[in-house]
Chains A and B, each alone.
Chain A
Amino acid sequence: MKKLILGTAVLALSAGLALADGDGKTVRMGTEGAYAPWNFVNDAGEIDGFERELGDELCMRAELKCEWVKNDWDSIIPNLVSGNYDTIVAGMSITDERDEVIDFTQPYTPPDPSTYAALDSGLDVEGAVIAAQAATIQAAYIAEKGWTLIEFATPEETVAAVRNGEADAVLADKSFLETVVGQDGLVMLERTESIGGGVGMGLRESDGELRAKFDAAIQSMKDDGSLNKLIAKWEVSSLW
């Protein structure tokens, strides 16, 4: 046991030493890894999806070295602010509320309406029990409407709640719901809600330089059409 404790202590110390020489900053990209097709964990256990491909391309254009980090959605902003990673690339819609705490780059997908998935295609969502992921624009929207809202920590759980009858419908981004409808009798409702202002990359407010770099990289991808190609490939939103 002594050896184990000693080993950990030595490891922690030597880690501190070995790191001292690396001056080139690595940009750590925080994502959730549970929101296909935006970001998810693939069979090999790696982060994959639209935002993985987009983020890698942006880092290449901005000539940055990037590394991906997984973090719970609930604590994704606090951990950015306290410096555990440098960006949030997690399908996060740009809202005024979030903008007070962190900064956003320009959006990399246009604002898209959110939709409902339910077991019954004739469901009237007004007054129904709606599931949504906690701390999302969808949850805020339902709360504001005054309908019954059930919040869950992960997108997966919001869908499961509809399947087992706990909620009547789930409100989420259309691209995400498209990956779940058609199974277990889930159908997409016709009604859409125009909420959110496009999805952007979140950064610390004190990190203006990095934000400018990513902004320019996103602009260059918009200009040469490669961003649209990527959006079409992963079917995450409408095109620019």
Chain B
Amino acid sequence: MFSYCAEPDTLEGLRWASCYLTTGKHMGLYSSVFTVLLLLAITAPTALLFGFGGATAARSRIPPLRWLGKGYTAIVRGVPDIAFFLFFVIALDQGFEWVRHQVKCPDWPDAIRQGNDFVVCQQAKLPLSSAPEWVHQTYGFFLAVLTFSIVFGAFASNVLFGAMRAVPRAQLETAEAYGMTRRQTFWRILVPQMWVYALPGLSNLWMVLIKATPLLFLLGIEDIVYWARELGGTKNARFTDYPHGDWRMWYFLALLVFYLCFTKVSEVVLNKLMTKLTHGQATAGGEAQRRAGA
């Protein structure tokens, strides 16, 4: 990185550290921080969408739709996350490839399942084996986002379902008295008012989601935990310019600080959001705000 880094064993103190912390490997660690943040940024709204869909379906007057919504939350919430992650990602990947295989290679003579092997034709591979490595990683990331969204969507669905029922019945009756249709009541009265009831549950979920990001490593994505373990491990002078002992403790300490800071910032933001949502609501919090203002 810096010009004086050519011979690290002659360096001392800060200069050594500045070289050590800017090796290609450490860049892997820094970029994995962005991977985690990106995952959260995409997963949170997607999971919320899944949750909203699930909750709306669970409230539906049409029985099959209602069963779908209820079944989704019941099944996903009941299965351990790790089992779900490991099973789902492999099944999803093979499912995609199976469909592509049926479409692209209808004349394929061999079976897809040969003993233990899962073999599809070259054109059906996802991504193609000739694709550059970043495409493979993006695809893996996409699978991870989808899996996280489905899992956390189920929890969000349950939270939103409860929040929708918590909106005072009097509010909805008033809407009906004004002649609003079911749809209008739902979108104009129920949805705007339910967030204040949903937020405590959702903020809990967000915290759990932040803490769950190291599960990415299980899915073969090189996240910060992977790099912390790899970088902190003992390094022999034969294979590196920066030999050191077992430094994993320090790397994991840095992770701890990172996650603590991140959850602290989240708490502050969520508290502000709560104050904002409470404003003008027919709840104890809203009433307290009104009195303080008056």
Contacts and interface: CB of A to CB of B under 8 A. Distances in A.
Nearest to A27: B129
B102 interface: no
A215 to B, nearest CB: 19
A43 B240 contact: yes
Contact of A40 (B129, B239, B246): B239
Contacts of A41: 25, 230
Nearest to A36: B239
Nearest to B238: A179
Nearest to B129: A26
B34 to A, nearest CB: 13
Interface of B: 23-25, 27-28, 41-42, 45-46, 90, 93-94, 97, 110, 114-120, 122-123, 125-131, 133, 135-136, 138-139, 142, 145, 220, 222, 229-230, 233-234, 236, 238-242, 245-246, 248
A24 B122 CA distance: 9
A205 B114 contact: yes
A102 B7 CA distance: 44
Interface residues of A, number: 59
A145 interface: no
Contacts of A48: 239
Q: Which of A43, A102, A205 has the largest number of chain B CB atoms within 10 A?
A: A43
- 7 tightest CB-CB pairs across the interface, nearest first? A22-B130, A44-B24, A45-B24, A19-B128, A156-B233, A45-B25, A26-B130
Contacts of A70: 222
Contact of B125 (A43, A71, A83, A205): A83
A82 B233 contact: no
A209 interface: no
Contact of A156 (B94, B139, B234, B238): B234
Interface of A: 1, 4-5, 8, 11-12, 15-16, 18-20, 22-28, 33-34, 36-37, 40-46, 48-49, 65, 67, 69-72, 75, 78-79, 81-84, 86, 101-102, 154, 156, 159-160, 163, 179-180, 183-184, 204-206
B8 to A, nearest CB: 9
A204 B117 contact: yes
Contacts of B246: 156, 160, 163
B105 to A, nearest CB: 13
Contacts of B233: 34, 154, 156
A204 B133 CA distance: 21
Contacts of B135: 15, 19
B2 to A, nearest CB: 14
Nearest to B122: A25
Contacts of B94: 82
A206 B24 contact: no
A37 B119 contact: no
A178 B46 CA distance: 49
Contacts of A65: 130
B139 A42 contact: no
A15 B119 CA distance: 21
A44 B23 contact: yes
Contacts of A44: 23-25
B119 A206 contact: yes
A79 B220 contact: yes
Contacts of B23: 43-45
A31 to B, nearest CB: 13
B123 A20 contact: yes
Nearest to A164: B246
A25 B234 contact: no
B127 A16 contact: yes
A87 to B, nearest CB: 12
A237 B128 CA distance: 36
B41 A1 contact: yes
Nearest to B90: A82
A156 B246 CA distance: 9
Given A43-B25, A72-B220, A183-B234, 7 more contacts: A11-B138, A12-B138, A23-B122, A36-B238, A36-B239, A75-B220, A101-B116
B166 to A, nearest CB: 26
